[in-house]
Structure 1
């Protein structure tokens, strides 16, 4: 294969630089990476071999110009590995992981490059730089220092080896999880076992089984511990089977066992942290986040855990009362019963059955008349589907986004449905990142895992799935709106414990009256959701928050517990470690399992949230405070949207996030709105 025949090595001729996925085949990837690695190293050597003294232009800006081909190839490949990972693509990813880690270290740990960055940083106060340029110098210096660029050659060699081992292990963890999740999908022989599901949900289960040549109904597992169907399934045995399968992922004695994998990941991360001068991986990670230290994270988690566990116990007692009063043969409520009886309590207290709302949440209407509508009203942007543009999978749709004045902004790709080749959960990632320096515009993708119904059946979303779509679209807006010069700051390239803030804010529009009334229409009759139901729905906003907060905090604490371990500590049994950690923080209620157990905790063992899963609740402090600001200032208006876009979304990572928040809000965030939202006031 020649470079000229590899579409990954040629600039895309498609609008906005969308990769020409129709021409890209699996065999193109490794040769493209090899060429991109070599070109990037050449570009770096041209920086380090300059004989004149380091300047912003010949060092920092040159560094930002380098690696453009590698970024293009990597964005394309990793979009596919997460959303359409065939066995061939998985094999390439496994081979590539240590190569990518080694290449990143070759740049980050380059002594000559680090010396030049240090020299520019040392004269920062004497240089005539704008705010973005100044912050860029600070970030490159900080990140290279924390990465180990100042270590001696012996320690750098060990660090490089650790990084390569970790890249391979995290790849293995994700592959094991994908395969075990597919293997553990639950097969039911008859529709009677799935009583409580709608005709559309049964149709989706039949289709999923048929896709695997199975006779019956197949229920695929989401990434988190629970399952949306647990709230509807009448058969207690069926509920137990689904939850047991979910919790077994990655913890069975088979080829997909993630227990030894995660223990080794934890050990190597601890060793790397010690090599870099930190007491733990958590200390290493939080040193460059807004939290600052693991102690700050622990203080917040412990402060919230006690009232959350208290509220969950009260909710559990109420569920038990329902069971005792309504069941002919009462039983003790277990974890697989929680969602089902919570809906009974919700119905009794608020006259709301959230599963019965699905006919009002038809997916296309939610997207067009809810998600897009709110964005248009708030920011003036418009969305038009580009049927002429092909994404990486036939199920992924491409939309062109334009500003209020009609000018081009970027592309938005939506990949809604689940499939065996897609990892679990929901996420946003860039396919092309915006940068004035590189003259690129943003192309972003949202992935969800909604079951695909049978032919002719409508896609009716649960309220949780509606929330997920609005949430992930908040990330997409961040990626679309960030307008920066340097690619280092593009889109969502912000601190991990800040990145969830814009997406959480976007959830506020789900129940905003003019938005809800526009999209929540019955898919057959077109009738709007009854205003009385809407009011009762709003009244439930703190309902079941003890459970929701407890399961999240339990996962956040597990993440911290694993990553606060020192280099000399060995963990023999994963289950025992989990139990001890949850008991330590008072979240060891077996009826409220952690949202993710360690063996399927992809966020921290194969994603970018290691020692950072706390960031959702950390960001929610800012989110809840921002929602209060919108409500106090007129809500869904262009004036409010333009302020939020200009001062927060638009700056990307080019400004300290807490400074950007202060600039938007006029003060630092107050935690009181968060406590009220989650029912955790004293």
Structure 2
């Protein structure tokens, strides 16, 4: 038996990473699937009449070993991958999708669930049980349980194919990201770049035994380069490399994969009786339908477009006056925006970074969580890590009881995908009267410390850390009975509320005073900087909103209609971007071929949810501002009605219980300066 299949003997039941070898995974997955099947077979073979406990509840607690193996493996696949892990993922994904279908398409199991579901009115279930029953029933009815045998087999084939394609998509994006580097050998080409960025590029070159400086498409290297490099031709080179990932007619080309994924999703939805993939997905979201999402996006577009066009004209004029730029291109946007922002607010990231040493910002997040929710974080060495950069913490409440284990993984490295995310190694749930506490992790890609400097964050990275930490709090403070309803297991357009609301504290003087101290002098961030951070928060908000809306509209374009007629990704994108287009098109680039959120992550038909959740978070934070940003009563209401409840009730019910009414977009429009 593999170590992964046995009960862990570690403190707090954490993953024993040092004892897990790559070759353990495949046998462990096979054992895990076999044991989960046995548990399901036992539920079906139970001679007693189907009840909520012996069927629905039993299903939710089944397969726990398999869940644990999956979470460990796929977290490593994202944060610490290698060729071997990628190869295993290609073998394992179809097995898991097949197993999922074995359950969802099992007629005998569905019959038991349906018997309980049909009798639901007489069962006297509490809200959490009612939600679980509804969710389990729909997991069958929405996934083919009512189909004929022939159609069930078609569905199985589609799902197997989709799981392979999305993995391949992600691996191609990673290969393209890691396959490009800009090697600079002349010092003049570094003009404009911050010294920390130059130092990191130098260290990268030294590590590769090369002269000069190396810049990559990883965010901590790419973003500062595009924001500060004075050499326009090199910015262009970087931007084209970044925007052509998966679109270069080479072995990592994602064009065919994107078309296949979109068409298979549509075929699957049709098979299940839905008009499109988006109709299928949105049935289980707060937004409910593609029509509602399109109306939501277009209403925001109407409000943001005049502001965006005005901001774009201002930026064009600024670039022309400053440097004689005749046509403003995409690779000019971050560079001139930053220059304009400095001129308007006399504030740039390089001025702010010394006040945002990573360790201080993290302590700030901990302190704020302590003041709001009574949590205490202590770093421990007794918990195993999957990489030496990872930090591990015990999180306890005021009574000293364990609330959660917390992993934090902050720096880019080979084998770690770009971006930032929160995930878990173990969910919270209650079994045999024991409240099992969760193991939560956040993964980011911030600038590594160098020989002369600690990791200093841009303000954007500060809000990223707070964002992921908000998700982490949702996971840590979970307090539900059933694992499938715990923590972040909520409707997709609700899941960003805890993360986005937490970003708001980064703009509040009272919160910044807790952590924004100069890393050398310990001096508190000057008040004028805080005012400027707040003032500049809505700088170019029209353009930023247009950009987000363009991604949401592209997502709905792929998934809200029949994609079978699409032959050219480039032509299709140009149609979708028509209403939000400001910059000239770049022929060599495409968005979809590296749009991992929708073709690899879980955001297909869901990209709108960032904006949707912004409406929720602006409305919710307005309540904190009215009561006081550290008001214990407001924090208690937010914890009890949102953070601890997971997916146990409909999100709108939970939201109204916290806020007293449905959210209105006014708070967001006001905050963004668009009213």
How far off its partner does 1:115 sit? Answer: 0.8
In 1, distance between residues paired with 2:666 and 2:97? Answer: 42
- Of the structure 1 ranges 208-217 and 289-298, higher mean CA displacement relative to structure 2 is found in 208-217
Which of residues 644, 661, 667 is equivalent to 1:673? 667
Query: Which residue matches 1:543?
Result: 539
Root-mean-square deviation (Å): 1.9
Query: Which residue matches 2:327?
Result: 332
1:615 aligns with 2:609: yes
Query: Which residue matches 2:239?
Result: 243
Equivalent pair of 1:186/1:242 in contact (CA under 8 Å): yes
In 1, distance between residues paired with 2:335 and 2:219? Answer: 19
In 2, distance between residues paired with 1:484 and 1:520? Answer: 35
Identify unmatched segments of 5+ residues in structure 2.
none
In 1, distance between residues paired with 2:27 and 2:157? Answer: 23
Query: Which residue matches 1:517?
Result: 513
1:576 aligns with 2:571: yes
Which of residues 143, 164, 167 is equivalent to 2:163? 167
How far off its partner does 1:437 sit? Answer: 2.1
Judging changes above 3 Å, is the alpha-carbon distance between structure 1 residues 169 and 591 closer, same or farther for their aligned structure 2 residues? closer
Query: Which residue matches 1:138?
Result: 134
How far off its partner does 1:221 sit? Answer: 1.8
How far off its partner does 1:504 sit? Answer: 0.2
How far off its partner does 1:643 sit? Answer: 1.6
Instruction: Provide TM-score, normalisation by structure 1.
Output: 0.96
Q: Matched residue of 1:518: which SS? A: coil
Q: Matched residue of 1:401: which SS? A: strand
How far off its partner does 1:222 sit? Answer: 4.1
How far off its partner does 1:194 sit? Answer: 2.3
Query: Which residue matches 1:67?
Result: 63
How far off its partner does 1:25 sit? Answer: 0.7
How far off its partner does 1:16 sit? Answer: 2.5
Query: Which residue matches 1:233?
Result: 229
Query: Which residue matches 1:454?
Result: 450
How far off its partner does 1:219 sit? Answer: 2.0
Equivalent pair of 2:197/2:224 in contact (CA under 8 Å): no
Q: Matched residue of 2:203: which SS? A: helix
Query: Which residue matches 1:217?
Result: 213
- Of the structure 1 ranges 548-557 and 302-311, higher mean CA displacement relative to structure 2 is found in 302-311
1:475 aligns with 2:471: yes
Q: Matched residue of 2:315: which SS? A: helix
Query: Which residue matches 2:627?
Result: 633
Which of residues 260, 266, 272 is equivalent to 1:264? 260
Q: How does 1:163-202 map to 2 (within 5 A)?
A: 163-202=159-198
Judging changes above 3 Å, is the alpha-carbon distance between structure 1 residues 544 and 299 closer, same or farther for their aligned structure 2 residues? same
In 2, distance between residues paired with 1:151 and 1:212? Answer: 56
1:355 aligns with 2:387: no
Equivalent pair of 2:219/2:445 in contact (CA under 8 Å): no
In 2, distance between residues paired with 1:185 and 1:111? Answer: 53
How far off its partner does 1:225 sit? Answer: 13
Judging changes above 3 Å, is the alpha-carbon distance between structure 1 residues 588 and 343 closer, same or farther for their aligned structure 2 residues? closer
Q: Matched residue of 2:644: which SS? A: helix
Q: Matched residue of 1:444: which SS? A: strand
- CA deviations on 1:485-529 (whole Å, 9 max, x unpaired) are 111111100011111111000001112212211211111111111
How far off its partner does 1:624 sit? Answer: 0.5
How far off its partner does 1:330 sit? Answer: 3.9
Q: Matched residue of 1:552: which SS? A: helix
- CA deviations on 1:63-108 (whole Å, 9 max, x unpaired) are 1121011011111111100100111111111111111110111112
Query: Which residue matches 1:14?
Result: 10
How far off its partner does 1:223 sit? Answer: 6.8
How far off its partner does 1:348 sit? Answer: 2.0
Query: Which residue matches 2:641?
Result: 647
- CA deviations on 1:316-363 (whole Å, 9 max, x unpaired) are 221222223222x44322111112211222222222223321111111
Which of residues 273, 298, 302 is equivalent to 1:302? 298
Instruction: Provide TM-score, normalisation by structure 2.
Output: 0.97
In 2, distance between residues paired with 1:7 and 1:157? Answer: 34
- Of the structure 1 ranges 229-238 and 95-104, higher mean CA displacement relative to structure 2 is found in 229-238
Q: How does 1:70-469 map to 2 (within 5 A)?
A: 70-222=66-218, 227-327=223-323, 329-368=324-363, 370-437=364-431, 439=434, 440-469=436-465
Q: Matched residue of 2:491: which SS? A: coil
In 1, distance between residues paired with 2:34 and 2:394? Answer: 34
Equivalent pair of 2:201/2:221 in contact (CA under 8 Å): no
Judging changes above 3 Å, is the alpha-carbon distance between structure 1 residues 596 and 407 closer, same or farther for their aligned structure 2 residues? farther
Equivalent pair of 1:315/1:544 in contact (CA under 8 Å): yes
How far off its partner does 1:213 sit? Answer: 4.2
Equivalent pair of 2:487/2:646 in contact (CA under 8 Å): yes
Equivalent pair of 2:5/2:28 in contact (CA under 8 Å): yes
Judging changes above 3 Å, is the alpha-carbon distance between structure 1 residues 192 and 388 closer, same or farther for their aligned structure 2 residues? farther
- CA deviations on 1:84-135 (whole Å, 9 max, x unpaired) are 0111111111111111110111112111111111110111111132221122
In 2, distance between residues paired with 1:397 and 1:225? Answer: 23
Identify unmatched segments of 5+ residues in structure 1.
none
